Amino acid sequence: MPRIASVFCGAALVVGLLAPPAQAAAVAFVYIPPVDAPVADPFRPPTTPYGAGNRGLEYATAPGAVVVVAADGVVTFAGSVAGGLHVTVRHPDGLRTTYSFLARIDVVVGQRVRQGDQVGVTRDHLHFGARRGSAYFDPASLFGSGRPEVRLVPFDEPPGEGAAGERLSIEQLVGGVVGLAGLGADWLRSGSGSLSTLGHYAGRLGLPNGLVSSAVVLLAAWNRARAQAERPCSAPGVPAPPPEARRLALLVAGLGSNSHHATVAHIDTIGLGYAEADVLRFSYAGGRTPDVTDGLGAIPATQYGPADTQNDLRASGARLADLIEAMVAEQPGVLIDVYAHSQGGVVARLALVELEARHGVEWLAHLGLVATLGSPHGGAHLATAIDAAGSTRLGGMMLDGYAEATGAALDRHGLSAAQLSEVSELVRELQGHPIPPVVRSLSLAASGDLLVPVPSTRAPGATQIVVPILGPQAHTRLVSSVEVHRELGLALAGLPPGCRSFAAALSDELIGEGIGYGEDVVGAFAWAATTALSPMG
């Protein structure tokens, strides 16, 4: 959105005012431009309340241009706001700079960066903003010698502190729309993201597309159930002996987990035949999680928290690939089995893509079984709804209020939440990159999973297995269930999945499709309502 970012960057702000000079910084700071490109649209503060303008600099960059940080600082925001990727850095002199409309983010919140470090790459034109406290100013004033003399213009709403404050500052910096009601403001604010969301919901629910889509879905469910009933299978009495050779088990947890608590840890690895010392868990901060019982102490261990699970999933996939490489180097010739729950399955898929790019597809033969459990390979319906509603002012306030009232670990501003949307670029990429045949892969799903319904768990190249687990806790119960334990044992023994009748398989498919459809209805209604009722600007 090269021109939208500048044309609609002017509303929702009070007219330019001269603010008192800010307190002088102890040390004069020198800033550099974030890209090597001409300015396509300069700073133009609004001349009237809700007037048009440009509250930053728009650079005429080409897609894929490297964006660097203008000065030393700490990353205070790195994520999605209304369909775009943005990074904000706080500098020692108290200023904040924001790098908007990126195609990829290469930093995480809390990371210390040095002047010239890469923060991401552009999707198209780069929008660069700067503010001091609760006021923005012309970023071009930074690129001189000594302390910048800036003309401060206050925001229409004080941004506040924390992730919510940073997000609000970005919305006002790049997202205002002149004189339109909340519907138009939020629509244009979210840009192509809203168009993708509209297309998704219209295709599922609108007329006549929705009727055609439903018929296609039902026919596909019928065919999948028939294929499951007719494929080679292991009868209930067939034993699943543990592997004869030593193998390593690598566990990858999901969204909201931490070093001490993760649903994936409930997999009965001892029952599957692994020695306790041969089981370790991935840390979203890099390496493995600290555990005195595993025998791979030479591999670095780091603690991680829920916030680390909400950063860029591509970066998490690269860290998992690093850990797998370290395990191969530490224990050459020993097969590595990967067990990943929920979001962890997407991270595992991204690690496979990364390892294939680094070493070629044959290198993946170092892996034995890759099993994902309740993983949203096709995106999550709830993530789509949260990302869509959160792109509106009212929806964002409601989600933030819910998180604060319930203590929910999910940060809707985290990049991973947007990447798990069904319409995200990352999900589209994974759907076009099947798991290579050299890797034996399973995608296990619970028929009544409310968080990740059966349709969302389908992964190209993986054998899908649906087990009959119902109830609100199906997503977590899946991991420790007897049915899943048997399926994993069969796969480790080189045996086909357990047998399912056509009626049972069709029932599982229809339950999953019904859950997904219902969540789309709720998501579409929530997005439309919060968009229409959002306050102006």
Question: What is the per-residue pLDDT across 89-108, written as a single tens digit (0 to 9) for each?
Answer: 999 988 999 999 898 888 88
Handedness of CA 414, 416, 418, 420 (dihedral sign): negative
Last residue of a domain, one of 179, 210, 227: 179
Residues 6+ apart with CB under 8 A from 161: none
Asked if residue 392 is part of any domain, the answer here is yes
Question: What's residue 381's pLDDT?
Answer: 75
Question: What's residue 225's pLDDT?
Answer: 86
Same domain, 96 and 232: no
pLDDT bin (cut points 50, 70, 90) of residue 310 is confident
Contact of 241 with 525, CB cutoff 8 Å: no
Name the more confident of 53 and 187. Answer: 53
Same domain, 84 and 169: yes
Least confident of 7-16, 221-230, 234-243: 7-16
Same domain, 129 and 258: no
CA-CA distance, 328 to 64, in Å (whole number)?
33
Task: Supply the CATH number for residue 296's domain.
Answer: 3.40.50.1820
pLDDT bin (cut points 50, 70, 90) of residue 165 is low
Identity of the residue numbered 480: S
Three-class secondary structure of residue 122 per DSSP? strand
Asked if residue 193 is part of any domain, the answer here is no
- C-alpha distances (whole Å) from 465 to each of 21, 484, 496 are 65, 9, 11
Same domain, 148 and 234: no
Same domain, 305 and 439: yes
Last residue of a domain, one of 126, 158, 179: 179
Asked if residue 186 is part of any domain, the answer here is no
Question: What's residue 10's pLDDT?
Answer: 36
Asked if residue 185 is part of any domain, the answer here is no
The tens digit of pLDDT for each residue in 39-90 reads 988 888 765 544 556 788 999 999 889 999 999 999 988 887 766 789 999 9
Asked if residue 431 is part of any domain, the answer here is yes
Percent of the chain residues topping a pLDDT of 90? 42
pLDDT at 130 over 50: yes
Q: How large is the average pLDDT for residues 214-226?
A: 82
Domain of 17 in residue numbering reads as 4-179
Handedness of CA 254, 257, 263, 268 (dihedral sign): positive
Same domain, 137 and 262: no
Closest CA to 395 of 156, 190, 178, 172: 190
pLDDT at 208 over 80: no
Last residue of a domain, one of 118, 149, 179: 179
Asked if residue 84 is part of any domain, the answer here is yes
User: What is the average pLDDT score of the chain?
Assistant: 79
pLDDT at 536 over 60: no
Question: What's residue 411's pLDDT?
Answer: 57
Number of domains in the chain: 2
Could you tell me where the DSSP H helices lie in 1-111?
A: 4-7
Name the more confident of 411 and 58. Answer: 58
Name the more confident of 202 and 375. Answer: 375
Question: What's residue 228's pLDDT?
Answer: 87
Question: What's residue 359's pLDDT?
Answer: 93
Same domain, 287 and 150: no
pLDDT bin (cut points 50, 70, 90) of residue 205 is low
pLDDT at 199 over 70: no
Question: What's residue 297's pLDDT?
Answer: 84
Question: What's residue 164's pLDDT?
Answer: 58
H or E, element range at 24: none
Question: What's residue 136's pLDDT?
Answer: 82
Closest CA to 385 of 422, 415, 346, 342: 422
Residues 6+ apart with CB under 8 A from 13: 45, 46, 49, 50, 53, 55, 136, 153, 154, 155, 156, 172, 176
pLDDT at 15 over 50: no
Question: What's residue 392's pLDDT?
Answer: 61
Q: How large is the average pLDDT for residues 115-130?
A: 92
The tens digit of pLDDT for each residue in 436-460 reads 999 999 999 999 999 899 889 999 9
Least confident of 203-207, 211-215, 334-338: 203-207
Same domain, 501 and 383: yes
pLDDT bin (cut points 50, 70, 90) of residue 38 is very high
Question: What's residue 1's pLDDT?
Answer: 37
Q: How large is the average pLDDT for residues 312-320?
A: 90
Name the more confident of 164 and 277. Answer: 277
Asked if residue 202 is part of any domain, the answer here is no
Closest CA to 10 of 219, 228, 176: 176
pLDDT at 509 over 80: yes
CA-CA distance, 290 to 103, in Å (whole number)?
34
Question: What's residue 530's pLDDT?
Answer: 66
Q: How large is the average pLDDT for residues 480-507?
A: 92
pLDDT at 398 over 90: no
pLDDT at 311 over 90: no
Least confident of 11-15, 230-234, 384-388: 11-15
Same domain, 62 and 115: yes
Question: What's residue 271's pLDDT?
Answer: 93
Asked if residue 189 is part of any domain, the answer here is no
CA-CA distance, 148 to 166, in Å (whole number)?
22
Tokens of 255: 């969204």
CA-CA distance, 14 to 19, in Å (whole number)?
13
Same domain, 366 and 494: yes
The pTM of the full predicted model, rounded to 2 decimals, is 0.67
Same domain, 169 and 234: no
pLDDT at 19 over 60: no
Same domain, 139 and 287: no
Question: What's residue 132's pLDDT?
Answer: 84
Q: What's the half-sphere exposure (Cβ side, CA atoms, 13 Å) at 267?
A: 30
Task: Supply the CATH number for residue 47's domain.
Answer: 2.70.70.10
